[in-house]
Structure 1
Amino acid sequence: MSGLWVRPAEPADFPAVARLTVAAYEADGQLKGEHGYGTVLADVSTRAVSGEVLVAVDEVTDAVLGSVTFVLPGTPFAELSGPGEAEFRMLAVDPGAQGRGVGAALAKACVERAAELGCTAVVICVRAGMAESAHRLYSRLGFVRAPEKDWSPAVDVDLLGLRLDLTRG
């Protein structure tokens, strides 16, 4: 993970975040048959108003390599989180930067942010057919299946809930 740092996104980062998020979702085949989700992914300014958009940046080139949106319950982009829980969404790594620890750095930053805010857990959802590498990443970080958080936002889009308990020492 050396050579990366995670920081809050600035408005100047928004075009790069939009581009890489849509590119990452397209590369994973997650936008096939989607009705408008690419537009939601590209609307970084709306996400930034509703939550915290974080970026992973290459320390040498200052290029944005990945991004994630961190939200709390009751905010417009929160889908799963309940009282005391934080959630992150739209974690995306530029396809050209995959394998460098960018996704892990962003997920860990969200877990750290949740702990700073006194949250008891972090919840996320992953697409049932998502790449095995993503499932392994979340498992390594301690996320476990939370079937009660499963849901389907659209026909043929099944999302699996995962939860990380922050109260265990």
Structure 2
Amino acid sequence: MDILIRPATPADHDAVAELTAQAYLRDGLLDFGESDAYLGVLRDVAGRAAAAEVLVAVEHDRVLGSVTFVPSGGPMADIAGPGEAEIRMLAVAHAARGRGAGEALVRACVDRARATEGCVRVVLSSQRTMHAAHRLYERLGFVRTPERDWNPLPELDDITLVTYELTL
């Protein structure tokens, strides 16, 4: 399999928006389904690309997956502090899962972090139920950082995100 990781282009934005939204919806990761406010954030690829780097995994010009790389605590960062890069919104199309696209995207983010001056670690947040993603992160050397776990919606008690970090 020849998966290419590259920056998303404006021509990719619609495919990335739908792929990301469908990945979260099909996995039951949005509490309110199609009416979940976060769905709009997931679909706003142009907004993400303006504030961070959106990468895609492609095979034969077909987008298999996407991730947002936030270098050095940029405006898209949720938890990254000084000297930290952040990985956000990793999504792989259901039909492409298990073929290495997610791993290739995470490795590309780690490579970008290593190339970022002053960056000493990569951090990320994940929903508790994203077990396949957790296995991937741990296989690549990320460790849980429960002291950084956080709730993006304090009014909803059950939305605590778990966190991971990889020291470079």
Do they fold alike, i.e. is TM over 0.5?
A: yes
> 1:128 aligns to what?
128
> Which whole-Å deviations, capped at 9, do the CAs of 1:107-163 have from their partners, x for residues lacking one?
000000000113100000111122x22111000000001122210112121101100
Deviates more, 1:29-38 or 1:150-159: 29-38
Q: For the Cα contact (< 8 Å) 2:142–2:165, is it kept in 1?
A: yes
Q: Which moved more, 1:27-36 or 1:119-128?
A: 27-36
**Partner in structure 1 of residue 49 of structure 2:** 48
Q: Distance in 2 between matches of 1:116 and 1:9?
A: 19
Provide the C-alpha distance between the structure 2 equivalents of 1:69 and 1:140, rounded to a whole number of angstroms: 20
Deviation at 1:72, TM superposition (A): 2.8
CA distance in 2, matches of 1:28, 1:63: 21
Moved over 3 A (4+): none
| Equivalent residue number for residue 159 of structure 1 | 161
Deviation string 1:60-102 (CA, Å, 9 cap, x unpaired) is x210100000013443210111111000100000111111111
Match of residue 40 from structure 2: 39
In structure 1, the residue matched to 2:14 is 15
Residue 82 of structure 1 corresponds to 81
- Unmatched runs of 5 consecutive residues or more in structure 1: none
2:28 counterpart residue number: 29
Name the aligned partner's letter for residue 146 of structure 1. T
Amino acid of the structure 2 residue aligned with 1:128: R
Paired letter, 1:65: L
| Aligned partner letter, 1:17 | V
- Distance across 1 between alignment mates of 2:111 and 2:14: 26
Q: Distance in 1 between matches of 2:57 and 2:4?
A: 6
Query: What are the Cα deviations for residues 19-77 of structure 1, in whole angstroms up to 9, with x where unaligned?
Result: 1000100111101226310010000000000000000000xx21010000001344321
> TM-score, normalising length from structure 1?
0.92
- What is the identity, as a one-letter code, of the residue corresponding to 1:44? V
Q: Note if contact 2:79-2:86 (Cα within 8 Å) is conserved in structure 1.
A: yes
Q: How many equivalent residue pairs? A: 162
| TM-score between the two structures when normalised by the length of structure 2 | 0.92
Indicate the SS of the match to 1:77: coil
